[in-house]
Chain A
Amino acid sequence: MELGALVVTQGSDGTQQIDNSTLPVLGKTVLDRWVERVQGLGINLLSVVDSDLLGSDRLHTMIDWAKKGVDQILLILVGSYSDVDLLDVVRFHHEGQHRITRVFDPLGPLGISLLDRQIILNSNFETHKLGPAGPSTRYDFLGYSVRLSSPSAYRKLVEDALEGRCDVKPNGLEAERNVWIHPAAHVDPSVRLEGSCYVGAYTRLNPGVVLRGGSSVEHNCDIDIGTTLDHASVLPNTYLAPGLCVRNSIIDGTRLENLDRGISVDLGPLGLSGRKKPISIPSSTPSVIRNRSLGETSFCVQVPIVPDAVERASTQVEANGQ
Chain B
Amino acid sequence: MISNGMVVVKQLPDGRAKRERREFLAEVKQLARESYRPQLIVDLPSRKLTSEVLDLLLSCAEQMEKSEGRVSVAGASPEAAVILELTQLTSVVNVFPSISEAVGIDASRFGSEDLNDGRHLAA
Contact = CB atoms under 8 A, between A and B. Distances in A.
Contact of B85 (A247, A270, A271): A247
A267 B78 CA distance: 14
B82 A272 contact: no
30 contacts: A243-B87, A243-B88, A244-B86, A244-B87, A245-B85, A245-B86, A245-B87, A245-B88, A247-B85, A249-B82, A256-B82, A256-B86, A258-B78, A258-B82, A261-B78, A261-B81, A263-B79, A263-B82, A265-B79, A265-B82, A265-B83, A267-B83, A269-B51, A270-B49, A270-B51, A270-B54, A271-B51, A272-B83, A272-B86, A272-B87
B11 interface: no
Interface in B69-89: 78-79, 81-83, 85-88
Contacts of A258: 78, 82
A246 B51 CA distance: 18
Interface residues of B, number: 13
Given A261-B81, A267-B86, 7 more contacts: A244-B87, A244-B88, A245-B88, A261-B78, A263-B78, A263-B82, A270-B49
Contact of B50 (A243, A246, A265, A269): A269
Interface in A247-268: 247, 249, 256, 258, 261, 263, 265, 267
Nearest to A241: B87
B77 to A, nearest CB: 9
A254 to B, nearest CB: 12
Interface in A269-304: 269-272
Contacts of A246: 86
Contacts of A249: 82
Given A243-B88, A245-B85, A247-B85, A270 B50 contact: yes
B55 to A, nearest CB: 11
**On chain A, which size bracket covers the interface?**
10 to 19
Contact of A261 (B82, B87, B88): B82
A215 to B, nearest CB: 14
Nearest to A262: B78
Contacts of B51: 269-271
A265 B54 CA distance: 16
A246 B88 CA distance: 9
A258 B83 CA distance: 10
Contacts of A243: 87-88
A270 B83 CA distance: 9
Contacts of B50: 269-270
Contacts of A270: 49-51, 54, 83
A9 to B, nearest CB: 30
* Residue from the set A249, A256, A258 with the largest chain B CB neighbour count within 10 Å: A258
Contacts of A269: 50-51
B79 to A, nearest CB: 5
Nearest to A261: B78
Contacts of B79: 263, 265
Interchain residue pairs A-B with the least CB separation, the first 8: A265-B79, A258-B82, A245-B88, A261-B78, A265-B82, A263-B78, A244-B86, A270-B51
A51 B81 CA distance: 37
A116 B78 CA distance: 52
A267 B82 CA distance: 10
A243 B87 CA distance: 7
A245 B83 CA distance: 10
Contacts of A267: 83, 86
Contacts of B85: 245, 247
Nearest to A271: B51
Contacts of A245: 85-88
A272 B81 CA distance: 15
Nearest to A269: B50
* Residue from the set B49, B54, B78, B86 with the largest chain A CB neighbour count within 10 Å: B86
Contacts of B82: 249, 256, 258, 261, 263, 265
Interface in B44-59: 49-51, 54
* Residue from the set B49, B50, B87 with the largest chain A CB neighbour count within 10 Å: B87
